[in-house]
Structure 1
Amino acid sequence: MAKAPVKENFKDTLWKACDKLRNNMDPAEYKYVVLGLVFLKYISDSFEERYNFLVEEGEGYEEERDEYTAENIFWVPKEARWSEIVKVAKTPEIGIKIDEAMYAIEKENHSLKDVLYKVYSNPLLDKGKLGELIDIIGGINLQSKDEKGQDILGQVYEFFLGKFANSEGKNGGQFYTPECIVKTIVSCLEPTKGRVYDPACGSGGMFVQSEKFIQAHSGKVGDISVFGQESNGTTWKLCKMNLAIRGIEVDLGEEPADTFTKDQHRSKKMDYIMANPPFNVKDYWAESLDGDVRWKYGTPPEGNANYAWLQHMIHHLAPNGTAGIVLANGSLSSNTSGEGDIRKAMLEDDIVDCIVALPDKLFLTTGIPACLWFLNRNKNNPKHRQREKEVLFIDARKMGTLVERSLRVLTEEEIQKIADTYHQWRGSYNGDGEYKDTLGFCKNATLEEIKNNDYVLTPGRYVGIEEEEDDGIPFEEKMKTLTAELAEQFKQSRELEEEIKKNLKALGFEM
């Protein structure tokens, strides 16, 4: 298929148009309207492309369901196809028509049962503006590639997820993890074969980036099996849709459910675990969790789930499994309610591989400082350098570029630097260079060093402070200049003080 011309700002144009059409629905509701239509348009485009191919073949198979399912294309009944939706886009019945289309698609595709949003007949949704939105989305060829060869569908979906997360503020974080953080975890773990798991999967960003990594390295997406769990019902549906349009098969369990109290992958061991669980959750505990087999290193405090998440993931790691987890910085040093003892036990058992301190303002939804924990079930794996009783610390707090006043992103080069450092340290790096400690950035610390720091894992304690570049000016000369400047500032301060006193006296006040 020929590439359709794509303007560089088409996503922003689409967002602005959709924002105007939003009317009086808040982003939490409106995102389902937009993303649902994008989903419907995409699967209809895929269907009609295959349909036209079969018509050209002239064998009369264009209405044979198996001709589509064999190619991993969703079967779209006639009344649900985009061409049929467009016919009634300008009528008051358009909302009912779309809801009926969603029901029809679910009925014909078991994997989408109870997944699609049927919200289009909502009285709050202006039907005239809904018709305009259909025109806008209808003008985008979601099957095409842009001039860089990237899929338009993926760009639209990821762009909207990020925009809606921003619009919703704190609540948006439940379904969206910043792309640069996901890329960092994926680049460090390099999931290529085996089971990939996210116990707090949101809209499925970890899985999408894993697929992109595999494709970029000429691997086969079918070599990984994807497992996830999500407790929020609407986010669970969003994940299903996000992965369905990309052809990623995923086991999200039978239903949305709490990972701690209803672990839907209880018996499975995973090769790669990647997660951004909610930070510092206070109300996760239930009586059924008392004495749980997952608490290998100690019972986590009932008022904070950080160490419950860590131990849940360790429990699910395969013998050679690795994990990358985003957590609040407090997890690195807290001693509250036995957390310090759990961290000590984890370190003594040699499960902690690497800690990365992240820069601030990476998250749209929280200002809490964050870090990455990398865990390794087998640090004596013969495929890697032996790092028994050692932990790599990376301080990336000076990295990142501000793209908005309150939002920072890691560049591709910075992500690669973190990943390369980790792989060099592990001995799994195929490029040039050997691992070396870098003052102010990375440090290989022994368990004895960590013990001397009371098992605190804050990278700044270990990497040291980067030396400033020598400007060639002798110290004595610098001090002479600084002293003169300070004397001048003191003089100006005294003059200002006398001027203030003078003005106060003129007003009848004495000091």
Structure 2
Amino acid sequence: MGQEAIQNNAAFIWSIAELLRGDFKQSEYGRIVLPFTVLRRLDCILETTKDQVLEAAASLPEGTDDEARFMILTSVANAGGQIYNVSPFTFATLREQDPKHLRKNLVDYLMGFSPNVRDIFIEKFKFTEVLKGLEDAKSLWRVFDSFARADLHPSKVSNLEMGYLFEELIRRFSEISNETAGEHFTPREVVRLIVDLIIANDEVALSGKGIIRRIYDPACGTGGMLSTAEEAMTALNPGLKVDLFGQELNAESFAVCKSDMLVKGHDASRIAFGNTLTEDAHRNETFHYMLSNPPYGVDWKKYADEIKAEADRKGHEGRFGAGLPRISDGQLLFLQHMISKMRDDENGSRIGIVMNGSPLFTGGAGSGESEIRRWMLENDWVEAIVALPTDLFYNTGIQTYVWILDNRKDAARRGKVQLVDASGERFWKAMRPSLGSKRRQIPDEARAEIVRIYHEFLNGKAGYGDVSKIFDTTDFGYREIRVERPLRLRFDITGAKIVEMDDAKGLDKLGDDLPGLKAVLRDSLMGQSFTSRDAFEGAVAALAKAVGVKLSTPVRKALVQHFGERDEEAEICRDAKGQIEPDPELRDFELVPLKEDWKAYFAREVTPFVPDAWVDTSYTDDKDGKVGRVGYEINFNRYFYQYVPPRPLAEIDAELKELEAEIAGLLKEVVA
């Protein structure tokens, strides 16, 4: 069956969705049609061995355990070793029954499936509820009868072709369900780009006989990335064996993905249900290729305790030892999880993940995000980052980036990171019409160009200097040094300040002595100013002693806080050891490029402008112990910024005059 036949089958099944018009929302069509498509496919697969399976089930000894039952019946069913059905019904025999009993009979048919398939339909697709909804709308028989006429036998539709058909249906239903499409569906051109990027340098590694490659997606959704990766790799080498693994939290997306694996003949048990971050279903597994589009900006507050506990307990032996991002965004948790599953052999592993801009630069030195970036870059895993055009996704128009990681880089790429700015007009075209927030797409020729730029490791060559640049990993690092300036205080003894002592924080500790201290300050120091803190404290202490008021240390500090005002002309304040006291309000931080000596930087960039400043050498990095905390960030705008000069003033002035004339004309019409 060629592409045309696939489209014809998709069109036929799509026409069945038209039967739902008026009784169901468009966003509900997929929840009905997709499970019915899977059900019909499985019915066709099991048709030829139906009688043998029923005989084998009837002959099983009483007390046969579930595992043995599964192995025996799936073997007889001869359907890839994963499924069987012991219900006497098939689609053909169900059509012969009284339509009034169709829902009851369909439920009986569902319950006859092996547990792995039954779980998909009953627990994830909620198919019994779907059947009741169809029956209530008086549409069940029409929909069922239409599917019964769809010929999806393996002799007519191969597993590969069935996969194409299923993907086409998913795409169509995602397009008409814009409010949720982006949550479960990554645009195909983005998926193809990621896949092309992660295999671009692996043509030789994927060639030959007996090659097995394991692919994993920790947030696999409906399985589009896994399917596309398999398709691209087998196109390079038809003899390649590809094992697909995934995990998905959304029940409906999981059901679609697992069903897709079943209809294609894959081991569907490798698609797991649950939260990847807290319930790793593929613990201790490693993979050759990993790719994902994890949720953007989704908080992990509900799972924070478990994730923090793992990070504390296992450190770098676990998945999250590098650091934890802020609670509002878990993208870097998924990336760390994927890195933990890299293979430590000669082939290594490659990762392709699409994320928004937050993982590039959110968080300063010492933050969880910065420490994760530091960990990846210092281990030299980040190979390339590609900025994509905006408005590519169905439910958001934000800027996104594809990260490519590799733990077996080619020699030329070691210690380097390639940044590709593919956000410009040359890499996208407008969609007509748009689909939700998706107003643009990446054409095939643009995708090929992006992959070529990456593959050829272009760095400002052949006119690509504006879109591709190569950096050392250390170019993204910096040391955050803490710059201090001396505390300088002036003390003016005014009547207003003395009156306000009643409400000053900390002076209430004086109790009944407060009025006496106020009086002696008014009589002896009113109108005086001190540019030395020591002189002020000495004068006040002498007066207090004269009137028998004892000043405790907290009260002394409260008096300084109340009367002191910062003044650059005042004397420098020193502590009891004679050391210059820093002013917290003047404290600043400088980001020194990691390749540069902080002392030279400070002498050049700070000292000439603030001669009294110094670097706090006690502010050190937790890991290397050196002055200044290490941070990493990747700022695309800094590297690819293009200056656009402002319009000439004469042009702006002429435009304003034109608008004024237009407004004046409109006002005349209103008055008239």
TM-score of the superposition, structure 1-length normalised? 0.77
Q: Aligned equivalents of 1:124 and 1:19: distance in 2?
A: 13
Q: CA deviation at 1:13?
A: 6.3
Q: Aligned equivalents of 1:365 and 1:136: distance in 2?
A: 33
The residue type paired with residue 190 of structure 2 is I
Match of 2:14 in 1: 15
Asked if structure 2 preserves the Cα contact closer than 8 Å seen for 1:80 and 1:102, the reply is no
Match of 2:475 in 1: 449
Match of 1:299 in 2: 324
1:263-307 CA-partner distances (Å, limit 9, x unpaired):
122212222111111111213442122215222322332232122
Among candidates 107, 114, 117, match of residue 112 of structure 1: 117
The residue type paired with residue 316 of structure 1 is K
Residue 166 of structure 2 is aligned to residue 157 of structure 1: yes
Which shifted more, 241-250 or 171-180? 171-180
Asked if structure 1 preserves the Cα contact closer than 8 Å seen for 2:87 and 2:112, the reply is no
1:299-328 CA-partner distances (Å, limit 9, x unpaired):
332232122112111111112111111111
Q: Aligned equivalents of 2:14 and 2:667: distance in 1?
A: 58
Q: Aligned equivalents of 2:418 and 2:670: distance in 1?
A: 65
Q: Aligned equivalents of 2:224 and 2:669: distance in 1?
A: 68
Q: CA deviation at 1:506?
A: 9.0
The residue type paired with residue 31 of structure 2 is Y
Which shifted more, 65-74 or 242-251? 65-74
Provide closer, same or farther for how the CA distance between residues 24 and 447 of structure 1 changes in structure 2, counting only shifts above 3 A.
same
Q: Aligned equivalents of 2:4 and 2:174: distance in 1?
A: 28
Match of 2:190 in 1: 181
Asked if structure 2 preserves the Cα contact closer than 8 Å seen for 1:25 and 1:124, the reply is no
Residue 132 of structure 2 is aligned to residue 133 of structure 1: no
Provide closer, same or farther for how the CA distance between residues 134 and 339 of structure 1 changes in structure 2, counting only shifts above 3 A.
same
Q: CA deviation at 1:458?
A: 4.2
Provide closer, same or farther for how the CA distance between residues 359 and 497 of structure 1 changes in structure 2, counting only shifts above 3 A.
closer
Match of 1:238 in 2: 256
Residue 100 of structure 2 is aligned to residue 92 of structure 1: yes
The residue type paired with residue 185 of structure 1 is I
Q: Aligned equivalents of 1:491 and 1:28: distance in 2?
A: 51
Match of 2:242 in 1: 224
Q: Aligned equivalents of 1:5 and 1:450: distance in 2?
A: 49
Which shifted more, 451-460 or 284-293? 451-460
1:26-78 CA-partner distances (Å, limit 9, x unpaired):
456542321111112212233446789xxxxxxxxxxx974641766854557
Provide closer, same or farther for how the CA distance between residues 169 and 356 of structure 1 changes in structure 2, counting only shifts above 3 A.
same
Q: Aligned equivalents of 1:105 and 1:311: distance in 2?
A: 38
Asked if structure 1 preserves the Cα contact closer than 8 Å seen for 2:325 and 2:369, the reply is yes
Q: Aligned equivalents of 1:167 and 1:506: distance in 2?
A: 46
The residue type paired with residue 188 of structure 1 is L
Among candidates 307, 330, 333, match of residue 308 of structure 1: 333
Match of 1:422 in 2: 454
Which shifted more, 314-323 or 228-237? 228-237
Residue 396 of structure 2 is aligned to residue 362 of structure 1: no
Asked if structure 1 preserves the Cα contact closer than 8 Å seen for 2:418 and 2:470, the reply is yes
Match of 1:276 in 2: 293
Match of 2:358 in 1: 330
Q: Aligned equivalents of 1:150 and 1:269: distance in 2?
A: 26
Provide closer, same or farther for how the CA distance between residues 80 and 116 of structure 1 changes in structure 2, counting only shifts above 3 A.
farther
The residue type paired with residue 209 of structure 1 is T
Provide closer, same or farther for how the CA distance between residues 45 and 287 of structure 1 changes in structure 2, counting only shifts above 3 A.
same
Q: For 1:137, what is the secondary structure of its paired residue?
A: helix
1:423-460 CA-partner distances (Å, limit 9, x unpaired):
3339xxxxxxx986812222222224333597433445
Match of 2:180 in 1: 171
Report matched runs for 1:355-504 at 5 Å. 355-379=385-409, 384-398=410-424, 399-403=427-431, 404-406=433-435, 407=438, 408-425=440-457, 438-451=464-477, 452=593, 455-463=632-640, 494=657, 497=660, 500-501=663-664, 504=667
Q: Aligned equivalents of 1:505 and 1:409: distance in 2?
A: 47
Asked if structure 1 preserves the Cα contact closer than 8 Å seen for 2:385 and 2:404, the reply is yes
Provide closer, same or farther for how the CA distance between residues 506 and 195 of structure 1 changes in structure 2, counting only shifts above 3 A.
closer
Q: CA deviation at 1:103?
A: 1.6
Residue 152 of structure 2 is aligned to residue 142 of structure 1: yes
Which shifted more, 34-43 or 223-232? 223-232
Q: For 1:122, what is the secondary structure of its paired residue?
A: helix
Provide closer, same or farther for how the CA distance between residues 411 and 131 of structure 1 changes in structure 2, counting only shifts above 3 A.
farther
Among candidates 307, 311, 314, match of residue 289 of structure 1: 307
Asked if structure 2 preserves the Cα contact closer than 8 Å seen for 1:333 and 1:456, the reply is yes
Asked if structure 1 preserves the Cα contact closer than 8 Å seen for 2:220 and 2:247, the reply is yes
1:384-410 CA-partner distances (Å, limit 9, x unpaired):
343122111112213233333243332
Asked if structure 2 preserves the Cα contact closer than 8 Å seen for 1:144 and 1:152, the reply is no
Residue 247 of structure 2 is aligned to residue 215 of structure 1: no
Asked if structure 2 preserves the Cα contact closer than 8 Å seen for 1:92 and 1:127, the reply is no
Provide closer, same or farther for how the CA distance between residues 136 and 172 of structure 1 changes in structure 2, counting only shifts above 3 A.
same
Match of 1:59 in 2: none
Which shifted more, 127-136 or 317-326? 127-136
Q: Aligned equivalents of 1:328 and 1:182: distance in 2?
A: 15
Match of 1:318 in 2: 343
Q: CA deviation at 1:164?
A: 3.0
The residue type paired with residue 105 of structure 2 is K
Q: Aligned equivalents of 2:12 and 2:34: distance in 1?
A: 16
Structure 2 spans left out of the alignment, 5+ residues: 52-72, 207-211, 478-592, 595-630
The residue type paired with residue 235 of structure 1 is S
Provide closer, same or farther for how the CA distance between residues 492 and 257 of structure 1 changes in structure 2, counting only shifts above 3 A.
closer
Asked if structure 1 preserves the Cα contact closer than 8 Å seen for 2:197 and 2:451, the reply is yes
Asked if structure 2 preserves the Cα contact closer than 8 Å seen for 1:68 and 1:74, the reply is yes
Q: Aligned equivalents of 1:25 and 1:502: distance in 2?
A: 53
Q: Aligned equivalents of 1:5 and 1:495: distance in 2?
A: 57
Match of 2:564 in 1: none
Match of 1:40 in 2: 39
Q: For 1:265, what is the secondary structure of its paired residue?
A: coil
Q: Aligned equivalents of 1:48 and 1:36: distance in 2?
A: 18
Q: For 1:105, what is the secondary structure of its paired residue?
A: coil
Q: Aligned equivalents of 1:138 and 1:313: distance in 2?
A: 42
Q: CA deviation at 1:505?
A: 7.4
Asked if structure 1 preserves the Cα contact closer than 8 Å seen for 2:467 and 2:640, the reply is yes
Q: Aligned equivalents of 2:662 and 2:223: distance in 1?
A: 64
Structure 1 spans left out of the alignment, 5+ residues: 53-63, 427-433, 468-481
Provide closer, same or farther for how the CA distance between residues 131 and 341 of structure 1 changes in structure 2, counting only shifts above 3 A.
same
Q: Aligned equivalents of 1:436 and 1:445: distance in 2?
A: 18
Provide closer, same or farther for how the CA distance between residues 126 and 437 of structure 1 changes in structure 2, counting only shifts above 3 A.
farther
Provide closer, same or farther for how the CA distance between residues 425 and 435 of structure 1 changes in structure 2, counting only shifts above 3 A.
farther
Q: Aligned equivalents of 2:4 and 2:434: distance in 1?
A: 32
